[in-house]
Amino acid sequence: MVKKLTALSLAFSMGVLTACGSNGTNVSTGNTNSGAKAEGAESASSNKTVIKYWYAYGEKIEEAKLHMVKEFNESQDKIEVIAEHQGDYEDLHAKVQAAFAAGDAPAVTDLEIASTGVFARSGMLEELTAYAEKDKDQLQLEDFNAGLMGNAYVDDKLFGLPFMRSTPILYKNVTMLKDAGLDPEGPKTWDELEQYSRVLKEKGKVGMTVPVDIWFYEALVAQSGGQMLSEDGKTAAFNTPEGVAPVEFWKKLSSEGLIKMPVGDEAGATADKDWANQMSAFKFGSTAGVTGSLEIAKGNGFELETAFMPANVSYGVPTGGCQLVMTSKSSDEEKEAAWEFIKWMTSKENTIYQHKHVGYLPTRQSAVESEELKAHFKENPQFKVAVDQLEYARPRPMENAYPEVAKIIKESIQKAILDPKTSPQDALNQGAEKANKLLSK
């Protein structure tokens, strides 16, 4: 087991945290242990099965999760869920690993989708196939959006259910575009993004502030017709022409001052700040940030629209966010309680609630087709963009080494962007050489 858990440390260096954070940043990272934990601890009684649920992120994301936990606890008298906040995904994953090794893991936890493979193959997760088959009529597994199920399975076995799921989308300051004489319907392609950015530069602005983010890079590789890894997952594919094209595009626009590419721990926060302060017209961000971004736009007096990420050869995006998983060392009684809780949290009613409250994708087709969300989309079209973009979505790689590979890719892109003497091809070739050593193990 020690050997297996050591492999998990690869998952905690991921630069993929924007995949679920509010507005594309790491929002609340402290362990507040608030809300449902305190209430659950006070109300739990000896005749109830008590289980722990560990979750990531704060602000509106935390509000939604605690609300649903509270509703679950009040809906029945057999199970008490104690919800505990554990920071961002990196914090959460590390704490689950440590708790599992100590024999005190939560029965249920959020799990960032790209880490599902390494957690499942280590033996930390309970396989859910039998549970889903037992309750197939109630669960209706086929109701989950097919575009979100790719990361739920590991080696053809079910290990998670889609919960707060996301894709990156384009956020547009429509007021800035109109003031610059630009069509607010665009940009729809990379070429149009470059054209728009040239016009905005003349106005003393930049088209976009974008961090070197692996999630966004995966999207641009997909838009170019490429893959991150070979089909068997044993070798790097990001140094092919389709993987090099996004870095060449970013380097060109950055070197000409058309976009701004900050690096470091505050890069995501800088991108959000530039967009909020109307220094940049566009930002890439998670659909989880729709509600928060609408509030920022309203407060700062500009009109916000969302759109597909601009296409190259085609549209394309990775999915992101988390799914709910069950840890494997719980008692049978705790596992049954955990399953009831997971079913509750991923129900049609709760996917509607969390989508409207935060902006995460409605994971069930029945939710998308409900009269409630149809009315919501009509009044707030910014929320529907990510749902429509799922047509072009793909799952994230789940090879055990991919979290560490993602870190290598990010460092390679940064080197190409920052060093005028390093070409994107050379930087990615060097990254691929390092990645192949990890992937071939």
Domain ranges within the chain, ordered by starting residue: 2-166+320-394, 168-318+401-439
Res 422 pLDDT > 50: yes
- What is the rounded CA–CA span in Å between residue 200 and residue 215? 26
Res 261 pLDDT > 90: yes
For residue 57, what pLDDT band results from cuts at 50, 70 and 90?
very high
pLDDT, tens only, 211-222: 999 999 999 999
* pLDDT, mean over the chain: 90
pLDDT at residue 12, as a whole number: 41
pLDDT over 70 percentage in the chain: 90
pLDDT at residue 97, as a whole number: 96
pLDDT at residue 45, as a whole number: 52
Name which of 274, 275, 267, 270 is nearest 304 in CA terms: 275
- What is the rounded CA–CA span in Å between residue 219 and residue 245? 12
Res 194 pLDDT > 90: yes
How large is the average pLDDT for residues 38-62? 78
- What is the rounded CA–CA span in Å between residue 433 and residue 435? 5
pLDDT, tens only, 351-406: 999 999 999 999 999 999 999 999 999 999 999 999 999 999 999 999 989 989 99
pLDDT at residue 299, as a whole number: 97
CATH code of domain 2-166+320-394: 3.40.190.10
pLDDT at residue 147, as a whole number: 85
For residue 265, what pLDDT band results from cuts at 50, 70 and 90?
confident
pLDDT, tens only, 225-242: 999 999 999 999 999 999
How large is the average pLDDT for residues 321-331? 96
For residue 441, what pLDDT band results from cuts at 50, 70 and 90?
confident
How large is the average pLDDT for residues 262-276? 94
How large is the average pLDDT for residues 296-312? 98
Q: What is the DSSP letter of 25?
A: S
pLDDT at residue 46, as a whole number: 66
Instruction: Specify burial of residue 52 (Cβ count, 10 A radius: 0-12, 13-18, 19+).
Output: buried
Backbone angles phi, psi at 379, to 5 degrees: -80, -30
pTM of the model: 0.86
Instruction: Specify burial of residue 275 (Cβ count, 10 A radius: 0-12, 13-18, 19+).
Output: buried
2-166+320-394 and 168-318+401-439 share one fold: yes
At the topology level of CATH, where does 168-318+401-439 sit? D-Maltodextrin-Binding Protein; domain 2 (3.40.190)
Res 154 pLDDT > 90: yes
